[in-house]
């Protein structure tokens, strides 16, 4: 009971600190909290030692009307599961700007950990569930649990989905072997691109990329060079190296004219916005003991605003090869001019159900963390 009280007090203190940290950025902030336990959410089971749950997917997004969509997986019954009937379902809820549910969708699934949702440029709803990427049919209007879904492309446990900032393009990369398979090196990779701006979405084979725009994919050119390699989405054999000094950072494409470098420098504290020709638009370095996590980022459609994760570490010694301890984690929101719009603390532990997303106009941020959706409106 004592520990339960301490955890509740700590959570309240973090919330209070986070609110005051953000409020300093705005004269009229608005924060909305949605507790998913009220809608059937339960924590995911822990992955067992040696178990790989599969690649993660997006779990929260915001449409053009400011409505927040969030997804979570639950076990509907505890009877003996079979391959055909796993007893699991993926729930998608859509909340109006004032926090009321106006859409509730349920899809059967065979996985706890890989399900996700994506929005198209016209707010079409795509769902990754039951080993496929599916599109919800709008014919006749959504009928909640009875909505019609159209399977677009296979997306099994080790499938990776990427999406352009405009939401018009999605790539689906699948490898036929799992990492635990002794024949992993003999697997076959399948790459597909979905043009979500067409109706129905057009599927093109042999197009791939983890960091993409509607035209190109971006990645560090190799493990030694610090340049960025840019390739046409459907012509991976013809790439060009961009003269960008990565210095250990991770590249993210806000659009084809503005690239975001996260975690640059020896201590991974740098954030840079650069043009493809190497011209620096702005450079920011986080305080000592902070580390920028380049694996998490969200931006608006224009590339004017973006959000990323910063961790704070204490203790440890590189000389003695002793690792430190992560004591805090926050989401930073910046403009393309280097202005900080907000700094919102989140839990220090990375969980499968954590995610965040900026709205298409960059004025709304939704954070999914430990079964609670926090929606922050920014000026």
Are 47 and 113 in contact, with CB atoms under 8 Å apart? Answer: yes
Given this model, what pLDDT does residue 379 score? 85
Given this model, what pLDDT does residue 13 score? 42
Please indicate, yes or no, whether residues 176 and 317 belong to a single structural domain of this protein.
Answer: no
- Residue at a domain's end among 208, 234, 269: 208
Q: Residue 159 and residue 152: Cα distance in Å, rounded?
A: 14
In a domain, 232, yes or no: no
Work out the burial of residue 26: count CB atoms within 10 Å of its CB; fewer than 13 is exposed, 13-18 middle, 19 or more buried.
Answer: middle
In a domain, 225, yes or no: no
In a domain, 86, yes or no: yes
In a domain, 355, yes or no: yes
Please indicate, yes or no, whether residues 170 and 258 belong to a single structural domain of this protein.
Answer: no
Please indicate, yes or no, whether residues 69 and 185 belong to a single structural domain of this protein.
Answer: yes
Q: Is 206 left (phi over 0), alpha (psi -120 to 50) or beta?
A: left
Please indicate, yes or no, whether residues 254 and 153 belong to a single structural domain of this protein.
Answer: no
Given this model, what pLDDT does residue 249 score? 85
Given this model, what pLDDT does residue 4 score? 39
Please indicate, yes or no, whether residues 204 and 254 belong to a single structural domain of this protein.
Answer: no
- Residue at a domain's end among 208, 230, 258: 208
Q: How many domains is the chain built from? A: 2
In a domain, 217, yes or no: no
Work out the burial of residue 236: count CB atoms within 10 Å of its CB; fewer than 13 is exposed, 13-18 middle, 19 or more buried.
Answer: middle
Given this model, what pLDDT does residue 226 score? 65
User: Residue 269: CB partners within 8 Å, gap ≥ 6?
Assistant: 263, 285, 286, 287, 288, 290, 291, 292
Q: Is the dihedral of CA 82, 88, 105, 208 positive or negative?
A: negative
Please indicate, yes or no, whether residues 164 and 84 belong to a single structural domain of this protein.
Answer: yes
Q: Is 45 left (phi over 0), alpha (psi -120 to 50) or beta?
A: beta
- Residue at a domain's end among 152, 178, 208: 208
Q: Is the dihedral of CA 195, 200, 204, 210 positive or negative?
A: positive
* pTM for the full predicted model: 0.87
Given this model, what pLDDT does residue 1 score? 39
In a domain, 124, yes or no: yes
User: Residue 136: CB partners within 8 Å, gap ≥ 6?
Assistant: 105, 124, 125, 126, 127, 142, 147, 148, 149, 150
Range of the domain at 267: 10-36+246-379
Please indicate, yes or no, whether residues 194 and 271 belong to a single structural domain of this protein.
Answer: no
Please indicate, yes or no, whether residues 165 and 272 belong to a single structural domain of this protein.
Answer: no
Please indicate, yes or no, whether residues 166 and 277 belong to a single structural domain of this protein.
Answer: no
How many Å from the N-terminal Cα to the C-terminal Cα in the chain? 41
Please indicate, yes or no, whether residues 278 and 378 belong to a single structural domain of this protein.
Answer: yes
Range 95-121 burial, b when 16+ CB lie within 10 A, else e: beeeeeeebebbbebbbbbbbbbbbbb
Please indicate, yes or no, whether residues 23 and 72 belong to a single structural domain of this protein.
Answer: no
Q: What is the pLDDT of residues 201-214, one digit of tens each?
A: 999 998 989 999 99
- Percent of the chain past pLDDT 70, that is, above it, reads 82
Given this model, what pLDDT does residue 340 score? 95
In a domain, 231, yes or no: no
Q: Residue 248 and residue 265: Cα distance in Å, rounded?
A: 6
Please indicate, yes or no, whether residues 30 and 171 belong to a single structural domain of this protein.
Answer: no
Reference 35, options 76, 77, 95; nearest CA is 95
Given this model, what pLDDT does residue 10 score? 42
Given this model, what pLDDT does residue 7 score? 41
Q: Taking the chain (379 residues) in consecutive chunks of 10 residues, what is each chunk's mean pLDDT?
A: 39 43 53 97 84 90 98 80 71 97 96 96 97 83 68 93 97 80 73 93 91 93 71 89 82 95 91 94 95 95 97 80 88 96 93 95 96 95
In a domain, 219, yes or no: no
Given this model, what pLDDT does residue 185 score? 72
């Amino acid at each position: 009971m004592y520990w339960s009280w301490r955890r509740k007090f700590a959570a309240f203190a973090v919330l209070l600190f986070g609110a005051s940290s953000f409020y300093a950025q705005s004269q009229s902030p608005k924060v909305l909290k949605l507790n998913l336990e009220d809608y059937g959410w339960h924590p995911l089971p822990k992955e067992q030692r040696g178990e790989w749950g599969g690649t993660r997917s997006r779990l929260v997004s915001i449409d053009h009307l400011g409505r927040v969509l969030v997804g979570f997986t639950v076990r509907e019954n505890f009877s003996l599961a079979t391959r055909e009937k796993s007893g699991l379902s993926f729930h998608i809820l859509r909340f109006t700007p004032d926090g009321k549910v106006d859409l509730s969708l349920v899809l059967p699934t065979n996985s706890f950990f890989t399900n996700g949702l994506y929005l198209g440029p016209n707010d079409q709803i795509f769902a990754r569930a039951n080993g496929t990427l599916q599109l919800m049919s709008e014919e006749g209007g959504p009928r909640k649990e009875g909505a019609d879904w159209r399977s677009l492309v296979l997306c099994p446990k080790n499938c990776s989905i990427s999406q352009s900032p405009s939401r018009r393009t999605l790539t689906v990369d699948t490898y036929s072997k799992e990492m635990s398979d002794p024949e992993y090196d003999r697997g076959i990779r399948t790459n597909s691109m979905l043009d979500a701006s067409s109706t129905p979405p057009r599927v093109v084979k042999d197009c791939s990329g983890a960091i993409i725009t509607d035209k190109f994919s971006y990645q560090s050119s190799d493990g030694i060079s610090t340049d960025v390699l840019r390739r046409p989405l459907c012509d991976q054999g013809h790439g060009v190296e961009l003269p960008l000094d990565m210095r250990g950072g991770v590249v993210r494409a806000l659009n084809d004219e503005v690239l975001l470098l996260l975690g640059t420098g020896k201590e991974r504290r740098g954030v840079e916005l650069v043009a493809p020709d190497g011209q620096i638009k702005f450079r920011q370095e986080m305080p000592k003991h902070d580390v920028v996590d380049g694996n998490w980022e969200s931006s608006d459609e224009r590339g004017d605003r973006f959000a990323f994760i910063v961790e704070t570490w204490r203790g440890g010694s590189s000389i003695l090869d002793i690792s430190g301890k992560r004591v805090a984690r926050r989401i930073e929101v910046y403009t393309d001019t280097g202005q900080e719009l907000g700094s919102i603390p989140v839990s220090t532990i990375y969980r499968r159900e954590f995610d965040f997303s900026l709205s298409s106009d960059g004025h709304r941020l939704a954070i999914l963390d430990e079964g609670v959706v926090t929606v922050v409106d920014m000026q």
